[in-house]
Every structure is written in C-alpha cells, then in structure tokens.
Amino acid sequence: MAVPAVAARPEAAKQTKRRRNSKKLAGWGYATPTAVFVLLFFVVPIIIVARMSVSDWGLFAGNRGWNAPANYEAVLDDRLLWPAVWFTLKYTVVTTVILLGLALGLALLVQESTRWTGFLRTSFLIPSALGLASASLLFYALYSPQSSPLGFFGPVSFLGTPGKALWSTVALIVWRFAGFYMLLLLVGLQSISADVYEAARLDGANRWQTFRYVTLPLLRSSLALCTILCVTGSLLAFDQFYILTKGGPDNSTITIVQLVYNMAFQGQNNLGRAAALSILVLVALLVLNALQFRGLRDKES
Amino acid sequence: MRFVRMPQYVLTGALALLFLFPLVWASYASVSPQPGTAQTSGWGFGNYETLADYQAGIGQYLLNSTLVSAMTVLFTLGVATFGGYAFAMFRFPGRNALFLVTLAILMVPYATLLIPLYVLLNELGLQNSLFGLALVLTMFQLPFAVFMMRISFEAIPRDLKESAEVDGCGSFRALTHILIPAVKPGLITVGLFAFLAAWNDFITPLVLISDSEKLPLPLAVANMRQQVMGIVDYGATEAGVVVLALPCIVLFLALQRHYVRGFMSGALKG
C-alpha cells in the first residue's frame, strides 16, 4: 500500500502545483481589466500631473520644458489662494458639524421600522437621488428673487453677501446629503444588538444616558466613516459653488478646487500651475486622512 | 412610552415635507405661469418647449447623457464583476497591491486627475468624445464597485462555491452560471450608483468635453442660464431640473429594496 503512495506523491504534487499555477493565471486574467483601467486612467495620470507641476505647460501651447519650482512659487503667491483655503476650511467645518448632527438626529428618529418611519426615511433619502449639479440648479431657481417661492419672508437676497452665500450653500448641501448620511448611520445603529439596550435598561439608564454611554460609543466607527467622507467631500467642493455663486460675491466663495479649475481653464490657461496646486491639495488630503485614521485607531485601542 | 403620539407625527411629518418641498416646488413651478419665462399665462409645457429648442435641442443632450450613462454602467459592471471575482476567489501575486491601488483612487481629488486626463485623452485621440468620458467615469466608479463586488462574492455561502467546483466546470462557467445570480443585489447596487454618478457628473464633462453638441444634460442646463444678455429663464431651468431628476428618482425608488440589501450585506461583514 505504502509503495504506490510514495511513488504517486511527486506526481500528485506536480498536479496540485499545476492546478495552483493555473489558478494564479486565472486570477490575473480576471483582474486584468481592473489593472488596465487603474494603470491607464489613474497611475499614468498621477505621473503626468507630477511632471506637469514642474513644467511650463500651457493649456494650448502644451509642454514648454522644465521650470521647477516656478509653478509652486506662483501658486503660493496667488492672491486668491489663502482666501480660498480659509473659505474652504470654514465651509468644511460648518457643513460637517451641521450635516452629521442632523443626520444622526434623523437616523435616531427613523430607527424603528414602522410604516410611518418608512415614509420618513424615503422622504429624507429622495434628495440623495439627485445629482449635486441638479440640486444646485434647483436651489439656484429657489433662491432667485425673480422666481423664489420664499418671497413671503419679504424681499430676501440669498446669495447677495458673502455670509448669506455661505449659509445658503450649506442649506443646499444639508438638504442634498442628510438622507445619505442618515442611511450610513442607520446601518451602524442596526448593528447594535438589542441585548445591549436591554442591559442598559435593566441598569436603570434613562434615554439620554443610554444614548450617551451606549449608542454613541458603539456608533463610533460609523460616525468616523461619515466624518471622513463629509470632510473630504467638503474640502473638494466645486459643483455647488460653480453653479450657485460662481465664486461671488467679490470672490468670497472661491474654493480650492474652483481655483484649480480657474487656473487651468479660465483666464490663466496654465495647466502647470493648476497641476502644482492640485498636487498640494493631494498632499494635504493624504496627510489629513492619515491623521484622521490615526486618531481613530488611537481611540479604538 | 407611547402616549402623546400626535405631536410627534406632526413634527416628523413637517420635517418630511421640508425635504420634499424643493422637488414639489420645482415640478409645480415648471408648468405654472410665471413672468419672464415661456409660460406667462395659464398652465402648460411652455418651459419644456424652450428646453426642447435650446441650441442642439434637449433630445441631443438627453441622448448624450443616456449614451455616457449606459457605457459607464456597462464598463463598470464588466470590470468590477471580473475584478471582484478575482480578488474574492483567487490568490495571485500582486493581488493586495492592485486592490489597494484601486481603493486609492478614492483618496485623490477629481481635479488632480482631470488635468492630466485632459492631456492624456488628447494623446489617445479621445478628446471631446463621449466614449473617453465614459472610460474616465468608469475609473472613478471602480473603488466602490470593485470593493462592493468583492464583498458580494466573499459573502456567497461556501457550499454554493464548492458545488460549482465539484461540478467540474471551469472558473468562467462557474462565474456565469452559478455565481453571478448569487451576487445580484451587489450588481444592482453597483449599476445604480454608476448610473447616478454618470448621469449627474458635472466637473468631468466640464473639463473633458468642449464641443457644445456633445454636452451631457447637466452641463447643457447649467449653460442655458447664461443665455441672452444675462437674463435667466428660471422656468426653463426648473423644467431642466425636472428632466434631470426624474429618471434618478424613479430608479432610486424602484430599486430601494435591492440596494439597501446590498449595503446591509456589506455592513454586516464589517
């Protein structure tokens, strides 16, 4: 019995090896479309943008050779840069605080599933089906003195001053995204088991205490995910300001991405400079996300 | 606990109305009489007629948007199904690196990629083309789509996978005959999100498409506002918003059950 087994072993080993190799090959085969897309439309462009940021590269003129670090210097000297950075940060903080606070409230409100909360959930979620551009166009009409149905508040200008333009845009974003973040938090809420709440009830915790000491800590990873998404999305805001305010009044609502767009395609037509600024944005975003992830991990351990 | 329910219904109902109000208003305003629009007296579709006659005509812009969305959904589903299958079921060198690089697309701002893509598509002869636009939009969808399909394939019950192997069919037959039906909720979620993203994207065509005949609908409606002497036809804008929003809302409501399930199955896996 043992003899044929020993004799057969190299044969069997060869066969499993062959099978493993063919599985490897098949794996690569199925991954190839992904690899091609990622390489051609992501990795190669990253290399190009790095190259552009250190070149004199016009929109129409194309590449006119190295000029490092002129683009970076020009970006840092741009008189719109620091106001844009400051405005983008302010907008991000305001949006994130209001949006996540409201989303959490909505998620708690529709937590049980009854027919009524089902209707509420759908109502809150419907704006999320709209594109950001469509929602911005809708609010553009909603805010215009000419067509606004909100005229009974008196002749209000929604976009006339820098402050009003900011808050009106935040209202649009909250309307558009509250349901989406509610859904993400709802998924988190529903993964908390009923036993935990039962235990809190037996311990005599009231509603606030249950929320503060049970729900909130167990919801932390969902909240963290929402925060990262919301902060990143707000830092890169473009559509809403491009459509609603065009950066006005008096350049007060220009965001960083809008500045990148303007440098590349409006007025300056300088792709090299736009590439330099977008590299700086990329680096800032990577650092910020690394910090957020680290903060998260520290808290969890 | 459940006494005095009335005020709660009133309050939450009012909140729901607040969320629905802008959409209801836009639909109402698009067909109601308003000075300065094509519909000055009586109710009717004057604003939609303005929209239909704007430059290349709304038909052309709808066609552009439909083509781009259809291509993006098709490419995304194809690439993400094979990719998710590879990452979930096979071990091969470079697997983790490729997956991480795919997810890294999420970390890079659109603007950072669009500037070099504008140059790259010119080199490839794909400037100003809806096909090129769909390829770029597909790339932006890949992190979510590949991730979603990977966890969908990983969530398939083990005995189903084993039965596919025991049947002795090759990995491709196993995929098409047995495994794809099992990941349908994931496919619907990925397809829906790819459609919504492609239909609604604004900055990508703004950078990549300069020919006004080839604009997708959101850009066309946005451009329409700067028509004659800076006077904005708000009626036509409202009609444009309704045309833009309608397919999204219908699909969103029709598929609600499916994509919520897709989300939940992903969430449960952590």
The verdict on B119 touching A (C-beta cutoff 8 Å) is yes
pTM (2 d.p.): 0.89
Quote the percentage of chain A above a pLDDT of 90: 51
User: Per the structure block, which two tokens stand in for B268?
Assistant: 């449960």
Q: What residues make up the domain containing B93? A: 47-268
The per-residue pLDDT for A256 is 94
The verdict on B69 touching A (C-beta cutoff 8 Å) is no
Distances (CA, A) of B236 to A246, B30, B64, B203, B230: 20, 7, 19, 22, 14
Query: Please, what is the Cα angle at A128 between A107 and A108, to 5 degrees?
Result: 5
**Domain contains B117:** yes
**Domain contains B14:** no
What number is the average pLDDT over the span A54-80?
90
- How close A121 comes to chain B (CA, Å)? 9
**Domain contains B184:** yes
The per-residue pLDDT for B133 is 97
CA closest to A234 among chain B residues: B109
**Domain contains B110:** yes
The closest CB to that of A126, out of B12, B20, B221, belongs to B20
The per-residue pLDDT for A3 is 45
- How close B117 comes to chain A (CA, Å)? 6
Average pLDDT of each block of 10 consecutive residues along chain B (270 residues)? Answer: 67 92 90 74 78 83 96 98 94 93 91 93 93 97 94 86 72 83 89 94 94 92 74 84 94 82 52
Query: Please, what is the Cα angle at B242 between B238 and B247, to 5 degrees?
Result: 160
As for the ipTM of the complex, it is: 0.88
**Domain contains B8:** no
What number is the average pLDDT over the span A5-19?
63
Q: What is the rounded CA–CA span in Å between residue A235 and residue A237?
A: 6
Counted domains in chain B: 1
CATH of the domain at B263: 1.10.3720.10
A interface test, pick of B112, B140, B151 with most A CB neighbours within 10 Å: B112
HSE (CB half, 13 Å, CA atoms) of A25?
A: 6
The closest CB to that of B79, out of A34, A139, A274, belongs to A34
The per-residue pLDDT for A155 is 63
- How close B90 comes to chain A (CA, Å)? 5
Pairing between strand A55-58 and A62-66? antiparallel
Q: Mapping DSSP to helix (H, G, I), strand (E, B) and coil, where does residue A58 land?
A: strand
The per-residue pLDDT for A98 is 97
**Domain contains B10:** no
Considering only residues A5 and B89, tell me which one the structure prediction assigns the higher pLDDT: B89
**Domain contains B32:** no
What number is the average pLDDT over the span A110-133?
89
A interface test, pick of B47, B115, B179 with most A CB neighbours within 10 Å: B115
**Domain contains B31:** no
Name the percent of chain A in helix, strand, coil, to the closest 5: 75, 5, 20
Q: Which residues of A touch B85 (CB under 8 A)?
A: 30
